[in-house]
Amino acid sequence: MASGFFTDTTLCIGCKACEVACKQWNELPSDGFEFSGKSYDNTGALSGTTWRHVSFVEQMELAEPRWLMMSDVCKHCTHAGCLEACPTGAIIRNEFDNVYIQPDICNGCGYCVPACPFGVVDLIQALSNPVGQRINYNTDSLNPDRMAQSALQATGGVAGKCTLCYDRQRSGLTPACAKACPTDSIQFGDVEELKARAKQRVQELDQRGVPAYLYGVDSEGSVGDLNAFFLLTDRPEAYNLPPRPVLPSTHQPAGYATAAITAAALALLGAAIFRSR
């Protein structure tokens, strides 16, 4: 069974409970106290230590001004660029079909960072709290997964992103963000079940005159369907999502071919040069 998230943006009220629950459960440090001036979004973007991010899209220029909110997260792609790029095998697809970074394997090469077409994964810098003190994590936890996670975050230097609460799922619990969401904007469950529910929701909204569509379902692109998909009411760009994400490994055949042709041509030319008197 593949588990995942269905994030219904029409239900999001921008409370950021998901952000807080994620930080708390995963023992991730705060993003600091900075006012961005971009609506109520002071988080900015997903990062190595921010695994849920609520964006606030203010559209005051429309005839009917509106405010869109979306809780963004790692998409857990069917064909994941980060997983393909990872040279150590630290990034795996786990038994829940989620894309998971093993924190004790990752050596921080950084190749997954530009390989993500959604700009999700990033390297975790050595961590300190907002006043610059080194964070000491409590490793007395009984759960071995959580101990590994804490140890990684104390030292940094590895890649970080949403684990889809691998540790909670292994204990039969709902991921922290979905559990905390007060409006069920974030729903967790079997992906096929979620997709059926989401399609019904689109029809419902359609009958009410709200145009909506699913982002990451029945996709034709190289990334495939997203195990964490979204119901949106505006174009993907409005939420900072790429409309047609491309799987980076699809660039490889052309690259290897031109490299081989160039090398062969120069080698032949070189052979002629060195044979000549």
Task: Give the x-and-dash track for 221-260 against another protein (CB under 8 A).
Answer: -----------xxxxxxxxxxxxxxx-xxxxx-xxx-xxx
Report the alpha-carbon distance of residue 43 to residue 52 in Å, rounded. Answer: 9
Nearest to 94 by CA among 226, 190, 195, 3: 3
CB 187 within 8 A of CB 196: no
Compute the least distance from the CB of residue 259 to another protein, in Å.
Answer: 3
- The sign of the CA dihedral 117, 118, 119, 123 is negative
Within residues 14-73, the interface with another protein by CB under 8 A covers: 38, 41, 44-45, 55, 57, 59, 61-62
With respect to another protein, which residue has the nearer C-beta, 24 or 259?
259
Select from 15-23, 93-101, 116-124, 164-172 the region that touches another protein (CB under 8 A).
116-124
Compute the least distance from the CB of residue 70 to another protein, in Å.
Answer: 10
Compute the least distance from the CB of residue 74 to another protein, in Å.
Answer: 12
Within residues 125-164, the interface with another protein by CB under 8 A covers: 155-159
Within residues 182-221, the interface with another protein by CB under 8 A covers: 199, 202, 211, 213-215, 217-220
Compute the least distance from the CB of residue 167 to another protein, in Å.
Answer: 21
Residue 150: burial class (beta carbons within 10 Å; 0-12, 13-18, 19+): buried
CB 59 within 8 A of CB 36: no
Compute the least distance from the CB of residue 173 to another protein, in Å.
Answer: 29
Binding residue for another protein, selected from 108, 130, 144, 182, defined by CB under 8 A = 108
Within the chain, where are the H helices?
A: 17-26, 81-85, 112-115, 144-155, 166-170, 176-180, 191-207, 252-275
Quick check: helix, strand or coil at residue 181?
A: coil
Binding residue for another protein, selected from 2, 11, 15, 113, defined by CB under 8 A = 113
With respect to another protein, which residue has the nearer C-beta, 175 or 245?
245
User: How many residues form the binding site for another protein (CB under 8 A)?
Assistant: 90
Report the alpha-carbon distance of residue 78 to residue 98 in Å, rounded. Answer: 9
What is the DSSP secondary structure assignment for residue 50, as one 8-state letter?
Answer: B
Select from 14-22, 100-108, 129-137, 184-192 the region that touches another protein (CB under 8 A).
100-108
Task: Compute CA distances 250 → 80, 109, 119, 127, 273, whole Å.
Answer: 12, 21, 18, 35, 36
Compute the least distance from the CB of residue 121 to another protein, in Å.
Answer: 7
With respect to another protein, which residue has the nearer C-beta, 21 or 232?
232
Binding residue for another protein, selected from 1, 24, 95, 114, defined by CB under 8 A = 114
